[in-house]
Chains A and B, each alone.
Chain A
Amino acid sequence: MSITSSCIVGFFLCVLAAAVEQAAAPGTNIQQAPSQFGTVDLFVDSAKQQLAAWQMEFKATAGQVEIVGIERGDNPDFHDPPYYDPAGLKSNRIVVGAFNISEKLPVGKIRVARLHLHISGAQKPVYAVNLVVAGDQEGKPIAAQASFSEGVTK
């Protein structure tokens, strides 16, 4: 048997071993790791200032979480879903943001987006948000607070 033949035989043995191991794994995962869907609402609180633009980063810092969808918040002035990078879907972190050039701008705490999540595994997920920027009607950065609240999990 030549060296090349030995390599090929060894390679196939290793692949076979890996395939057997992977085939055994899903069965145990299905039993041990429950899968569910949930939502997280994102909020921006601009206090008394008008909110014309916002951008924040969301991340699941613990647990097996995939972001599977994004929808707009409940403020009619931000009527479109926020901008996001589609590459963030199917991962545990994403950057979302939106702006509004209308005259009537919201103030105070508003829900700006809702994230739909796929949660798997027994570990309870932990989330974090970071406000990247918030701006007023003049395009000036303003001090605002980002927060989130977990919705119903099914």
Chain B
Amino acid sequence: MDNTPEKNLDQWAEEGGPPRLKAGLAEIFGSAPAIARSMDDRILGAAREQSIRRNRMRWTIRYAIGSVAAAAAVVLIAIKMNRHDQPIVNDPTPAVATAEDFNRDGSVDMIDAFLMARKVAAKESLAKEWDFNHDGAVDTKDVDVVAFSAVKIKGGDLR
């Protein structure tokens, strides 16, 4: 027999290995114990059953993760889409006094706009800090800024 691996590969596969290797192994470990065909089939069957169970479990986990992820995505999208539908609430009394708070009562309201409008109409001395729209002049447009600031919807509830 030729011992060149390329030529005898198929034959060795049928015989369970190269003859010289088989002889060498038998010399070292003795002859292999005979295993009954039925035992072989039982082991094979058990292995197949376990493999099927493992595959089934793997698919179940995949579908479960997929479904949960999809449901979470839909819930997130729904929340995002509905967020703008929430009723806007208003707090007409901001606590922080600003330059727009003419009478320094702690809130910007229509009285502040009125006081500024009177000053603008009377051409009284107008502070540069009242140039709320930053156009270089203190005029009725700045009064509008104060008035719109007063009615701006911010948050809170009817008192």
Give residues in A with beta carbon < 8 Å to B: 1-3, 5-11, 13-15, 18, 52-55, 57, 59, 82-85, 87-88, 91-101, 128, 130, 132-133, 135, 139, 141
B22 in the interface, Cβ–Cβ < 8 Å? no
By a CB distance below 8 angstroms, the chain B residues around A141 are 111
**CB of A13 to closest CB in B, whole Å:** 7
For chain A, what secondary structure do more than half of its interface residues adopt (helix, strand, loop), or is it mixed?
A: mixed
- Shortest beta-carbon distance, B99 to chain A, in Å? 16
Residues of A within 8 A of B152 (CB): 85, 87, 95
- Sorted from nearest, which 5 A-B pairs have the closest CB atoms? A6-B66, A10-B70, A99-B114, A97-B110, A53-B114
The interface on chain B, measured as residues whose beta carbon lies within 8 A of the other chain's beta carbons, has a size of: 37
**Cα distance A97–B115 in the bound complex, in angstroms:** 14
Of the candidate stretches B3-11, B34-42, B46-54, B86-94, the one touching chain A is B86-94
Would you give 26 A-B contacts (Cβ < 8 Å), ordered by A? Answer: A1-B62, A3-B69, A9-B66, A10-B67, A11-B69, A14-B73, A52-B114, A53-B113, A53-B114, A55-B110, A57-B92, A83-B151, A84-B151, A85-B152, A87-B152, A87-B153, A88-B153, A91-B153, A93-B87, A97-B110, A97-B150, A99-B147, A133-B109, A135-B111, A135-B114, A139-B114
Q: Which residue of A91, A92, A94 has the most chain B CB atoms within 10 A of its CB atom?
A: A91
Find the B residue at minimum CB distance from A13: B70
Q: Is the CB of B92 within 8 A of A95?
A: yes
Which of B69, B115, B159 has a CB less than 8 Å from the CB of A139?
B115
14 extra interchain contacts, Cβ-Cβ under 8 A, other than A87-B152, A93-B158, A97-B113? A1-B62, A3-B66, A9-B66, A14-B71, A14-B73, A53-B109, A59-B158, A83-B151, A88-B88, A91-B153, A94-B153, A99-B110, A101-B121, A133-B111
Query: How far is A139 from B111 in the complex, measured between Cα atoms in Å?
Result: 6
Residue from B62, B93, B103, B151 in contact with A97 in the complex, judged by beta carbons closer than 8 Å? B151
Q: Does B56 contact A (CB under 8 A)?
A: no
In the bound complex, residues from chain A placing their C-beta under 8 Å from that of B93 are 132
B29 contacts A by Cβ under 8 Å? no
Q: State which residues 119-159 of B face A: CB under 8 Å.
A: 121, 144, 147-148, 150-153, 158-159
State the CA gap A9–B114 with chains docked (Å). 61
The reply to whether A133 and B65 form a contact with Cβ atoms under 8 Å apart is no
